[in-house]
Amino acid sequence: LCTYLFETATHMSTFYEQCPVLKSEGDVRSSRLALCATTKKVLARGLNLLGIDAPDQM
Would residue 19 count as lying in a domain? yes
pLDDT > 90? residue 55: no
Model pLDDT for residues 1-47, shown as the tens digit of each residue: 999 999 999 999 999 999 999 999 999 999 999 999 999 999 999 99
| Total count of domains within the chain | 1
Residue 56 within any structural domain of the chain: no
Contact 46, 5 (CB under 8 A): yes
- Please check whether residue 55 lies inside any domain of the structure: no
Q: Is residue 7 part of a domain?
A: yes
Per the domain annotation, does 44 fall within a domain?
yes
How far is it, in rounded angstroms, from Cα 45 to Cα 9?
13
Separation CA 50–CA 20 (nearest Å): 31
Position 58 pLDDT exceeds 80: no
Q: What is the pTM of this model?
A: 0.86
Q: Has residue 9 been placed in a domain?
A: yes
Q: How many CB atoms lie within 10 A of CB 46?
A: 18
Distance CA 2, CA 25 (A): 34
Whether 45 is covered by a domain: the verdict is yes
Q: Which domain holds residue 22?
A: 2-49
Q: What is the pLDDT of residue 36?
A: 96
Radius of gyration of the chain (CA): 12
